Amino acid sequence: MKIAVYAISKNEEAFVERFCQSAADADYIIIADTGSTDETVRLARDQGASVYPICIAPWRFDHARNAALALVPSDADICIALDLDEVMMPGWRAEIEKTWTSEATRMRYQFDWSEGVLFQGNKVHKRQGYFWRHPCHEALEIDRRLTETFCVSDMTLITHLPDPTKPRGQYLDLLRLSHAEDPACPRTAFFLAREFTYHSLWDEAVKALEDFLAMPDTWVLERCWAQRLLGKAHHKLGREEEARSWYLRSVGEAPWSREPWADLAAFAYDLKDWEACYFAAKSGLAVKNKSNTYVDRPDLWGYSLYDTAALAAYHLGLHAEAVSLGAQALELAPDEERLANNLEFYKEKAL
């Protein structure tokens, strides 16, 4: 069995050595460089990677990844698509060799996105029959003439170590293009609508989110997220009743996840609706399991919901409850001075 790791790069000198060292057990490390002006290419070659310059203009991620995949030698059996800010975990090759079957065309495994977000990845695939589609948030797809068969591992094979300085300014135009090319794709429709909110384009976001929700075969957690974003958009536009309605709908869509409860609590906090804030925050805390998907918010499994619930409890005159919740918040973030000060304040009021 021959395994190839392939990636695209541009000015990744801070990450390329770590990337190559983590993938050292691969038979091939293929990097398609899209115009680096730093030391990325030299450092990668020093680590034994095969680096090829490519030009993708106008830029789109799927064409770049397809160019990288085309550079993988034809005798490779399995390919692993990575970004330069991702690393393979120790023991990854032995796990693939143990899990892969003769019928398999693709593998599911655990992917550590960072900050406590862990979900199922699927970018390990057979050399033949796969291609990338969509200009942005590109997806790996199989040729329709073939049958896709998954093998599954519970091991965390890949970890993401994100670069917070990477710009995302090009995403909006690429997502507009992606949606124009495939207007019936719910995944692309959702990502475009979400991107509008990142740019505070609230009116465009409202229309795009409503269009997404009208589509068939949408995923429940993305529907819930879209409803929460509609709540946020209407709140930003000063339409509080519409906002409240959407936040409540998001809770009804996925009451078993913390995210809609947290967003409802934050909305109620802004309005100083302390009863709603307290109820929503406590309901979120009653959810004990993550969805283990990319929609999980890491902060909701720290102190934030305890802090929100404590503040609401104080405003409702529930001083003993505020002390209890405030203490739990501080236990989860003992270095947060504000939480310590709040707890002392709650204790004084409880006397």
According to DSSP, residue 301 is labeled G
Residue 134 lies in a domain: yes
For residue 210, the domain's CATH number is 1.25.40.10
Verify that 295 and 184 share a domain, yes or no: yes
Verify that 154 and 9 share a domain, yes or no: yes
Verify that 96 and 226 share a domain, yes or no: no
Residue 281 lies in a domain: yes
Tell me the three state secondary structure of residue 57.
coil
Verify that 178 and 95 share a domain, yes or no: no
- The amino acid present at 136, given as its one-letter code, is C
Query: Which residue range is the domain that position 8 belongs to?
Result: 3-160
Considering 282, 301, 320, which residue would you say is the last residue of a domain? 301
Residue 101 lies in a domain: yes
Give the whole-angstrom CA distance, residue 113 versus residue 166: 16
Please name every residue paired with 139 in a beta bridge, in sequence order, or none if there are none: 133
Verify that 8 and 140 share a domain, yes or no: yes
Residue 337 lies in a domain: no
Verify that 144 and 14 share a domain, yes or no: yes
- List strand residue ranges (DSSP E) for the chain, in order: 3-9, 28-33, 50-53, 78-81, 86-88, 106-114, 117-126, 130-133, 139-142, 150-160
Verify that 103 and 134 share a domain, yes or no: yes
Per-residue pLDDT of the chain (351 residues; tens, 9 = 90+): 999 999 999 999 999 999 999 999 999 999 999 999 999 999 999 999 999 999 999 999 999 999 999 999 999 999 999 999 999 999 999 999 999 999 999 999 999 999 888 999 999 999 999 999 999 999 999 999 999 999 999 999 999 998 877 777 799 999 999 999 999 999 999 999 999 999 999 999 999 999 999 999 999 999 999 999 999 999 999 999 999 999 999 999 999 999 999 999 999 999 999 999 999 999 999 999 999 999 999 999 999 999 999 999 999 999 999 999 999 999 999 999 999 999 999 999 998
For residue 119, the domain's CATH number is 3.90.550.10
φ/ψ of 33, rounded to 5, equals: -90, 130
Residue 66 lies in a domain: yes
Considering 104, 139, 160, which residue would you say is the last residue of a domain? 160
Residue 311 lies in a domain: no
Residue whose token pair is 């998954």: 150
Q: Kindly give, in sequence order, each residue whose CB lies less than 8 Å from that of residue 2, ignoring residues fewer than 6 positions away.
A: 27, 28, 73, 75, 76, 77, 78
Considering 280, 301, 322, which residue would you say is the last residue of a domain? 301
Q: Give the total number of structural domains in the chain.
A: 2
**Residue 40 is encoded by which pair of tokens?**
């990325």
Query: Could you tell me how far CA 72 lies from the centroid of its own chain?
Result: 27
Residue 39 lies in a domain: yes
Verify that 113 and 194 share a domain, yes or no: no
Tell me the three state secondary structure of residue 112.
strand
Verify that 43 and 141 share a domain, yes or no: yes
Verify that 279 and 237 share a domain, yes or no: yes
Verify that 264 and 178 share a domain, yes or no: yes
The pairs formed by 126-132 with CB atoms below 8 angstroms and a separation of 24 or more are: 126/77, 126/78, 126/79, 127/4, 127/72, 127/74, 127/76, 127/77, 127/78, 127/79, 129/105, 130/69, 130/79, 130/105, 130/106, 131/66, 131/69, 132/61, 132/62, 132/63, 132/65, 132/66, 132/69
Verify that 155 and 29 share a domain, yes or no: yes
Q: How many CA atoms lie within 13 A of 34 on its CB side?
A: 19
pLDDT (0 to 100) of residue 116: 82
Instruction: Tell me if 328 sits within 8 A of 306, measured CB to CB.
Output: yes
